[in-house]
């Protein structure tokens, strides 16, 4: 049975039980006017409670239900991470030295965009779990570079994943655990040496929610062999753990991500995203990134980037 349905049924039973208890108390009142006033009071309280419950439906379960209904169709593909286009981004800490003399033609201002999709390949596995495949592509386009550079795509990071996802139901620190996942994750930039960057890892993630807040924690372990390793220090810069916090209010979403390498020589990366109303099928999008590990080729460089544009999908 769908967990979202179970959640609604529990609320219904609790509401009915509460109503029966209050109505029983009202029925003991002898005076007609006072008894009628009691019934009106109970009715108003229940109406207010129902409105409150409508506004506090789990954002994770709401999205899971929407994805489940969409996946019932043939050839269905759903968003994975946020899909966005930032026509203008500026990185005041740009380092184009890996590109040699060609990098001297590049501009600190460039286009950044992300395409992220997933589809379910197997459902109703152990403990109501499911298997998904996903693909995320993040690109940096030097549209504003010197004319001699011919506006190349400076960097494109490809990230296919195989995800085993399963539902949870427990509470910790006032937050409700909703879903966990284990993934095989490959990430590379598809470049030949000396610009090649790639790694493989196993990731684990858990997500909680409370009212309009979603909290996530993710960690990973690298599973590459040492032979032909073009990223020997990648975990020192891309981190070993990542925390996320998202808050949704109406058509606005604020999401913050923090990753850290958990080492004495501490290195972090912080990403702040704000989605706001713009048009019927588009949201305005502002993204700020500060720290290490923004892209593979600049994994060891500290970035200070801000970008503005549009988002096609949301986290919640």
- Known catalytic residue: 188? yes
From CA 231, how far away is CA 198, in angstroms rounded? 7
- DSSP class of 192: P
From CA 242, how far away is CA 221, in angstroms rounded? 12
- Known catalytic residue: 249? no
Owner of token pair 């590109």: 99
From CA 268, how far away is CA 283, in angstroms rounded? 28
Count of CB atoms within 10 A of residue 117's CB?
Answer: 16
Q: Could you give the count of Cα atoms lying within 13 Å of 232 in the half-sphere of its Cβ?
A: 3
Task: Classify each residue of 28-54 as buried b or exposed e, where b means 16 or more C-beta atoms within 10 Å of its C-beta.
Answer: eeeeeeeeeebeeebeeeeeeeeeeee
**Choice among 70, 129, 186, 196 that is catalytic:** 186
Helices 59-71 and 3-27: angle between axes, nearest 10 degrees = 130
Which residues does residue 82 pair with via DSSP β-bridges, in sequence order? none
116, 87 Cβ separation under 8 angstroms: no
Count of CB atoms within 10 A of residue 164's CB?
Answer: 16
From CA 22, how far away is CA 279, in angstroms rounded? 46
CA quadruple 158, 161, 167, 169: dihedral sign: negative
The SS3 assignment for 69 reads helix
**Choice among 145, 181, 188, 198 that is catalytic:** 188
The CA-based dihedral angle spanning residues 8, 10, 14, 17, taken in that order and rounded to the nearest 10 degrees: 110
Q: Could you give the count of Cα atoms lying within 13 Å of 83 in the half-sphere of its Cβ?
A: 12
143, 151 Cβ separation under 8 angstroms: yes
- Residues labelled catalytic: 186, 188
């Amino acid at each position: 049975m769908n967990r979202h349905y179970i959640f609604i049924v529990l609320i219904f039973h609790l509401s009915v039980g509460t109503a029966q208890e209050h109505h029983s108390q009202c029925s003991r009142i002898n005076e007609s006017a006072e008894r009628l006033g009691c019934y009106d009071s109970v009715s108003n309280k229940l109406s207010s409670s129902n409105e409150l419950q409508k506004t506090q439906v789990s954002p994770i379960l709401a999205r899971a239900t929407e994805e489940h209904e969409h996946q019932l169709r043939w050839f269905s593909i759903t968003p994975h991470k946020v899909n966005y286009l930032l026509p203008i981004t500026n990185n005041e800490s740009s380092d184009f030295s890996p590109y040699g003399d060609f990098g001297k033609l590049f501009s600190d201002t460039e286009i950044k965009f992300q395409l992220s999709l997933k589809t379910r390949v197997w459902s109703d596995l152990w403990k109501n779990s499911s298997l998904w495949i996903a693909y995320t592509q993040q690109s940096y386009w030097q549209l504003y570079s010197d004319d001699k550079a011919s506006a190349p795509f400076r960097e494109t990071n490809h990230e296919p994943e195989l995800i085993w996802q399963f539902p949870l139901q427990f509470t910790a620190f006032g937050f409700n655990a909703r879903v966990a996942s284990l993934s095989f994750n490959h990430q590379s930039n598809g470049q030949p040496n000396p610009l090649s960057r790639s790694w493989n890892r196993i990731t684990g993630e858990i997500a909680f929610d409370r009212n309009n807040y979603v909290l996530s924690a993710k960690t990973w372990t690298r599973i590459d062999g040492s032979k032909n390793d073009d990223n020997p220090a990648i975990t020192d810069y891309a981190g070993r753990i990542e925390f996320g916090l998202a808050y949704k209010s109406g058509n606005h979403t604020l999401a913050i991500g923090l990753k850290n390498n958990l080492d004495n020589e501490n290195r972090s990366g912080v990403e702040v995203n704000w989605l706001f109303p713009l048009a019927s099928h588009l949201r305005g999008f502002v993204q700020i990134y500060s720290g290490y590990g923004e892209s593979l080729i600049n994994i060891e460089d500290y970035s200070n980037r801000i970008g503005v544009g549009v988002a096609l999908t949301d986290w919640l």
